Structure 1
C-alpha cells in the first residue's frame, strides 16, 4: 500500500498535501489557544495579500509597492461599518471631537454590511484598475511603475492622517467590540471568524490557481517573459496587466477587512510604506510565481517575527534580518524554490542512473 502511495503522480500528491493543509487549518481551534488562534487568523489574512501580490509580481513581473493602500482601504471599509454599529446611531467619537454635527455622506452607506463587503473589495480593485489604465496603456513599467505605487502609498496615508474628522487621523478607527450583536473578543466569535478566514484563504488560492493555470495565466507568464513578443502575436498586454492588478488589489482589500475583524483597529500606519514593503518580502522569501510559497512566506515570516519578538525582545530585529539575508543569498528563488531544486536534483540523479544502465549491443 505504501509503495503504491509513493508512486502517485505529482499532481495527486499535491492535491493530497493541499487537503492535509486545509484540514490542519480547519482543525487549528482544537489545538491552539485563543491568543495563538487569533494570531494565526491575522497571518492567514496576510497570506491572502501575498497570493494577490504573487499574481501581479510573480506571474506578470510587475512589482507593486502599493498593496498596503489596497489592504488599508478594505480595512477602513470594515472598520467604518463596525464603528457605526458600535455608535448606535450617534456620530463616531472622533467626529464629535473634531466638531462634526452630521455623519458625512460617504459614511452613510457603510451602515449596510453587504455594501461594506462589496466596497472593501471593489474600491481597491477599481482604484487599481484606474491606476493600471493610465500606466499600462502608456507602457509605464519596471521601476517607474514601482515608484508610482509607492507614491500612491505616500499620498493616501498623508490624506488619511490629515483628515482627522473623517478617518480618525493618526489613531485610525477603533473602539468597536461587536459584530452582528456578538462580541468580537469572545472565544466563540474568534473561532468562527478564524474559520471564515480559512475559507476565504482557500477560495483566494483556488481563484489564483485557476487563473494562472488558464489561458489567461499563460498570457501573464508570457508578458513576464517578453511583453513585446506578446504584443507582436496579437495580444494587448495592458488589458491582462490591468485585470491581474485589479484582482490582486481586490484580494488585498478582502484581507484588510478580515484583518480588522481579528485585530480591532485600522490606522494609516498599517497601510503605509513599511507594510507595503513587508508584503513584498513575504512573496520574495516564500517564492515568487508559486502561490503556495507566497502564502507560506506570509504565514511563516510573521510567525517567526512573533516568536522572535516574544523570546528575544531586544534582538529580534537582528534575527529577522539574518533570516532575510540567508534566504536571499542561499535561496534566491525563495523557500518554495528549495523544493523545486530538490526535484531537479532528483530527476538529474535518475537521469544519470538511467544512462549508466544502458547496454550497448556487442560489435
Structure 2
C-alpha cells in the first residue's frame, strides 16, 4: 500500500469477488452492496449480459484509435439518442471528462465564457470540472482556479434570473437534477421549468450532469425524462457500462456540430470493450418492464425507510428518486456506516449528515428486506455504537 498515493481515505476492506448485489472480501465475508460502486454497477456486479458482451468482444478487438470508424460507437450513440431527440454523442472515459467536454462545447458553440453552476454541486476533479463544482473543500489547495464560473443557490429561480440580467457573457447553466455528492438534493420541477424558460429567452445552453442519475438510477433511463425535457447538452458516465470505464457527452445536433474535426478528442474514449458493455447495459435497461420494476422497488424502499424515520429519531427525512436515496440524519453518519459494514451492509455518505443508498437496480425484495433489517438493527444499537 505504501506505493499508492494517499488521496483516498480507504475503507479497510479488500473485495476479492462480487456477483449481483453481493461482494465478498479476502476473509470470505459477504456484504450486501448498497453502493454499486457509487452508482456504477447499476445492473449489479458481473451482470450476465454485460459479462458475456465484454467476454465476446475480448476475442475480437480491444482497442483501435478514433482515427478509424467504430460501429459499436455508432450503435451505442444511436441507442442513447433515440431516448432523447435528434443529436450526437461523443465518448470519453469518465464523468469528469464528459463535463470538461461539455464546458468546451458550450463555449465553442456560443462564443461566450461564463458557466453558471450551483452550490453543493459536484462535477468532477479535473481542473475545469473541479472549478464548476461549487464546494470550497474540492477547491482547497488547487488555486488559482480558472475564471468563468459563477455559483448560484440551488432551486432558486429568482437568483438565476438576477444573475443572468447582470452578465451578458453566459454560455450555459450547468446543473444536476439530483445533487448526489452534495447531499441528495432534488431539483424542483418549477425550478427546472424556470431554468429552461430563462435560458431559452437569453440564448443560453442548458447542461445537465447525469453522471450519477443516468442509466436507470432514477427509474427512467435519464433523470431529465422525469422532468419532461431534453437538455441542450447532457453528460453521462458511471452506469453507462456497469463498471467498465466509460463516459459520454450528448448534445442536440445544432450544438454538437460546434465540435469539428480536431476540436476535441480522447485516446481511449469509446473503447471497444466499453462500448460492448454499454450496448448490453442499454439493451437490458430498455427491455420491457425493467424500469417499471425500478420504480416499484423505489416505492417499497422509501416506504420502509419512512417507517424507520417514525421509529428512530436519528433518521430525519428521506429524499431522492428511484434508487438514489438520501437519508438526512440528526448527526454525522460515519460511525453508523461503519456499524452497517460490520453487520454486512455497505452504504455511503453524501456529506457529513446524509446517508446515501445506491442499491443495484436489480435488487430483489429479499435483499431489500435484508438491508432494512440491518439498518433497523444498527439503529436500535446506535447508542452503543456512539458510546
- Tell me the TM-score normalised to structure 1 length: 0.31
Where is the strand percentage greater, Structure 1 or Structure 2?
Answer: 2
- The structure having more radius of gyration, on CA atoms, is 1
Where is the helix percentage greater, Structure 1 or Structure 2?
Answer: 1
Structure with the larger RCO, 1 or 2 (CA within 8 Å, 6+ apart): 1
- Tell me the TM-score normalised to structure 2 length: 0.30
